[in-house]
């Protein structure tokens, strides 16, 4: 063995022994925050945040509430141009009326022995078919307006007036205007002292202000990797200046 080869082998043996003597480091994932001083990163989230989509293929006729605008539960948020659907509904209603009259006449003729059982059965079948078509068209026309599922604000318009949309295409993002939720990840070892109802203070970055808050509920399971648990808090008192998406620090000391 040459001197160079002997030297390389000695270096490899030294490196191997050094690695064997050094215990492997295990990455530790912890909740975002400065746990030592009782501060945890927190984000404000609306209790309800929904993307509204159309259920029919139609052109948008109106979006009454602008971006950032407020609305009440049940208020119309999206109106579609449904002239063709309403025309089909009127046609179905006319067919139903005709089929109902035919069934009525056949029943009267049957009492006079002027109509057979087959005539009655066929008239009943046409009446049921017309009723089903009418019910289907009434359902479609009922989808021509999307009403607000809760009171809130329009966060974003995804589609525009006069735009044609297909079923499932998103139209509006809306958020609940009620109390916001404070979401944070707490160390699981804090469970011995943190329970629902626990008071803490939230300092919101965007406003530079602090608000009193409390823990409303805890998550259903602990993350085994980060040894953390989800906690949901709520602001106590007036939080009208707060908006979804704001963030800050929750202080438990």
Residues pairing with 81 in the sheet = 59
- Specify the DSSP element, H or E, that contains 220: strand 209-223
Predicted model pTM: 0.71
Residue 205 is encoded by which pair of tokens?
A: 């970055």
* Domain residue spans of the chain: 33-47+179-251, 48-80+144-176, 83-143
- Alpha carbons 252 and 76: distance in angstroms, whole number: 43
In this structure, how many other beta carbons lie within 10 angstroms of the beta carbon of residue 69? Answer: 12
CATH class of 48-80+144-176: mainly beta
| pLDDT in the model for residue 153 | 94
Residues pairing with 42 in the sheet = 248
| pLDDT in the model for residue 219 | 92
- Specify the DSSP element, H or E, that contains 10: helix 3-21
| pLDDT in the model for residue 111 | 76
Residue 237 is encoded by which pair of tokens?
A: 């008192």
Q: Which residues of 230-248 are buried (b: 16+ CB within 10 A; e: fewer)?
A: bbbbebeeebeebbbebbb
Q: What's domain 83-143's architecture?
A: Orthogonal Bundle (1.10)
Helix and strand numbers (H, E) in the chain are 3, 15
In this structure, how many other beta carbons lie within 10 angstroms of the beta carbon of residue 42? Answer: 26
| pLDDT in the model for residue 124 | 87
- Specify the DSSP element, H or E, that contains 141: helix 117-142
DSSP assignment string, 222-238: EETTTTEEEEEEEE-S-
From the list 164, 167, 171, the residue with the least C-alpha distance to 63 is 171
pLDDT in tens, the chain (253 residues): 445 444 444 443 444 444 344 444 433 334 555 556 678 999 999 989 999 999 999 999 999 999 999 999 999 999 999 999 999 999 999 999 999 998 888 788 877 777 778 878 888 899 999 999 999 999 999 999 999 999 999 999 999 999 999 999 999 999 998 888 999 999 999 988 888 999 999 999 999 999 999 999 999 999 999 999 999 999 987 777 888 999 999 998 7
From the list 47, 44, 51, the residue with the least C-alpha distance to 174 is 51
In the Cβ-directed half-sphere of 105, how many Cα atoms lie within 13 Å?
Answer: 10
The answer to whether 204 touches 212, Cβ cutoff 8 Å, is: no
Sign of the torsion angle spanned by Cα atoms 76, 78, 84, 85:
negative
- Alpha carbons 156 and 66: distance in angstroms, whole number: 9
Could you give the 3-state DSSP secondary structure of residue 90?
Answer: helix
* Residue with the two structure tokens 């139609």: 58
| pLDDT in the model for residue 116 | 78
Q: What's domain 33-47+179-251's architecture?
A: Beta Barrel (2.40)
10 Å CB burial of residue 126 (0-12, 13-18, 19+) is: middle
| pLDDT in the model for residue 113 | 77
Q: Which residues contact 131 (CB under 8 A, 6 or more apart)?
A: 96, 99
Q: How far, rounded to the nearest angstrom, does the alpha carbon of residue 193 sit from its chain's CA centroid?
A: 32
């Amino acid at each position: 063995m040459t001197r160079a080869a002997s030297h390389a082998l000695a270096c490899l043996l030294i490196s191997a022994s050094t690695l064997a003597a050094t215990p492997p480091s295990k990455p530790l994932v912890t909740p975002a925050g400065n746990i030592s001083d009782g501060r945890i990163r927190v984000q404000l989230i609306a209790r309800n945040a929904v993307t509204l989509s159309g259920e029919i293929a139609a052109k948008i006729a109106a979006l009454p509430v602008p971006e950032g605008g407020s609305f009440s539960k049940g208020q119309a948020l999206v109106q579609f141009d449904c002239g063709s659907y309403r025309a089909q509904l009127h046609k179905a209603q006319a067919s139903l009326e005709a089929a109902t009259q035919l069934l009525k006449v056949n029943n009267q003729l049957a009492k006079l022995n002027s109509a057979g059982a087959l005539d009655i059965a066929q008239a009943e079948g046409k009446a049921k078919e017309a009723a089903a078509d009418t019910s289907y068209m009434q359902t479609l026309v009922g989808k021509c307006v999307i009403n607000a599922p809760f009171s809130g604000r329009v966060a974003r318009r995804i589609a525009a007036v006069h735009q044609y949309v297909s079923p499932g295409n998103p139209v509006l993002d809306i958020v609940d205007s009620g109390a916001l939720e404070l979401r944070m990840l707490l160390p699981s070892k804090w469970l011995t002292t943190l329970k629902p109802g626990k008071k803490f203070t939230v300092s919101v970055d965007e406003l530079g202000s602090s608000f009193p808050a409390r823990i409303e509920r805890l998550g259903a399971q602990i993350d085994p990797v980060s040894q953390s648990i989800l906690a949901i808090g709520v602001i106590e008192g007036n939080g009208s200046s707060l908006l979804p998406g704001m963030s800050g620090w929750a202080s438990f000391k």
